[in-house]
Amino acid sequence: MNDYSWQDLSVGLGATFEVLITAQMLDDFAQLTGDHNPLHMDQAFAQAAGFPGRVVFGMLTTSFYSRLIGMYLPGKRALLHGVNAEFKNPAQIGDRLSVSGEISYLNEAYRQIEVKARVVNQNGKIISKATLLAGLRGQ
């Protein structure tokens, strides 16, 4: 976990991590949210709808933006204030997703950062793009 202070932050500072999507993640997300739509839960149903397999929940892939802010950029002192995300393409079980973000704006008066972020699969296909707002607490 990173522990950036306000003085450590600058426009252009970035972070990236990877996540391998598993069937268990979809099952756990469905259990947590109560969303059991067959596109996400039933292989045959998803294939009949034209997908190669179960479609990963868009909100599951965007949930990694929380990890980006809370663990990496800026990390320990951060509190996520907002997420404005666009879903570009569906992810699939077995995808290796790269989650990245870069600080695009610093608001000193509110100690708030803006991060331009994206989730991309192993083939370079954009899964989602987002603008994230986060506050920085403490030093």
- Using a 10 angstrom Cβ sphere, with 0-12 exposed, 13-18 middle and 19 or more buried, the burial of residue 97 is buried
- For residue range 58-78, what is the model confidence (pLDDT) as tens digits? 999 999 999 999 999 999 999
Residue with tokens 């920085």: 136
CA dihedral angle for residue 125, residue 128, residue 131, residue 133, rounded to 10 degrees: -120
> In order of start, what are the domains of the chain with their CATH numbers?
13-136 (3.10.129.10)
β-strand pairing of 112-120 with 96-107: antiparallel
Which tokens is 130 given?
Answer: 């987002």
- For residue range 25-39, what is the model confidence (pLDDT) as tens digits? 999 999 999 999 999
Which tokens is 83 given?
Answer: 């997420």
